[in-house]
Amino acid sequence: MIDYSFIWLISHSIIKFLKLKRTKFKKKLEKKIMKIEDNVYALESTKGSYSYLIKDKETILIDTGRPGKVKNILKEIDSLNINAKNIKHILLTHHDVDRIGNAVLLQKETGATLWASKEDIPYIFGDKSRPGVKKLGSLYAFLMRVKKPENIESYNDQKIDDIEIIRTPGHTPGHVSFLYKDVLFAGDLVRNSNGVLKKAPSIMNADEELIKDSIFKMSEYSFKWVCPCNGEPLEVKDEWKQLLNNI
């Protein structure tokens, strides 16, 4: 005769164990995620080429990291108790592959609207080819099967939620930065090299003079945090002024 109470006990214990394991995994992941301000996070799974998440009236993802990170990005978002389906917008700072790597798959998973500048959209579709060393980026995108979007919106000069869109061309023709409260999402306008802000290297920039102008233009704004793609988010005091002296 089958002892159903024993089977129930075993299956109940297994479910309990799996739930506990999942909770521990979520807590571990949550600890690793860098909280910049109350509702701004740097996603650990994109470390080295950061994507950021803002949870305000709407949930917004800024950039999407190198290709192949979709699963881990979604796990991280889940660990913050955010339903990925609530992401309303994915904002791209520019067209480079480490920014758009997971954009299309994340757009499909979340149903979010994908945004980029009108100057950079032709590069995302491959209608314009990336110049110089960035040709390697296009090859990388091809090898990694980075998909092209079916729908993408171009920025007007409007705000999206409480995020100000600031045109900062130079690294790419349509590079933009975003200002949200005290936090500047700088894309590849600058990078953080061990606590020192530096301009993106010349070889990677479409127009050296334009990127310098864009860095100077950002001095008109006030912000406490600089969140770049490359290097860690940095709480700034005089670092932006020092950057101006060094470019």
Q: Considering the complex, state which of residue 79 and residue 93 has its C-beta at the smaller distance from Zn ion.
A: 93
Q: Considering the complex, state which of residue 44 and residue 188 has its C-beta at the smaller distance from Zn ion.
A: 188
Report residue 68 as tokens. Answer: 């192949």
> What is the C-alpha to C-alpha distance for residues 204 and 133, in angstroms, rounded to an integer?
7
For residue 177, list its beta bridge partners: 166
**Which amino acid belongs to residue 103?**
A
Binding-site residue total for Zn ion (CB under 5 A)? 2
76 contributes a contact to Zn ion by CB under 5 A: no
Report residue 40 as tokens. Answer: 């701004």
Residue 96 CB, nearest approach to Zn ion (Å): 3
Q: Considering the complex, state which of residue 76 and residue 96 has its C-beta at the smaller distance from Zn ion.
A: 96
**Site track 81-110 with Zn ion (rule: CB under 5 A), x = hit:** ---------------x--------------
Residue 75 CB, nearest approach to Zn ion (Å): 25
The residues in 172-231 that bind Zn ion, with binding defined as CB under 5 A, are 188
> What is the C-alpha to C-alpha distance for residues 81 and 230, in angstroms, rounded to an integer?
26
Question: Alpha-carbon torsion 153, 156, 162, 167, what sign?
Answer: positive
Strands (E), the chain: 34-37, 40-42, 52-55, 59-62, 87-91, 113-116, 153-154, 164-167, 176-180, 183-187, 190-193, 196-199, 225-228, 234-235
Q: Considering the complex, state which of residue 44 and residue 96 has its C-beta at the smaller distance from Zn ion.
A: 96
Residue 10 CB, nearest approach to Zn ion (Å): 53
Backbone angles phi, psi at 200, to 5 degrees: -60, 145
Q: Considering the complex, state which of residue 77 and residue 174 has its C-beta at the smaller distance from Zn ion.
A: 174
Residue 188 CB, nearest approach to Zn ion (Å): 3
**Site track 140-179 with Zn ion (rule: CB under 5 A), x = hit:** ----------------------------------------
Q: 3-class DSSP state for residue 52? A: strand
Please report, for the chain, how many H helices and E strands are present, in that order.
Answer: 8, 14
Residue 94 CB, nearest approach to Zn ion (Å): 6
**Site track 7-46 with Zn ion (rule: CB under 5 A), x = hit:** ----------------------------------------
Q: Which residues bind Zn ion (CB under 5 A)?
A: 96, 188
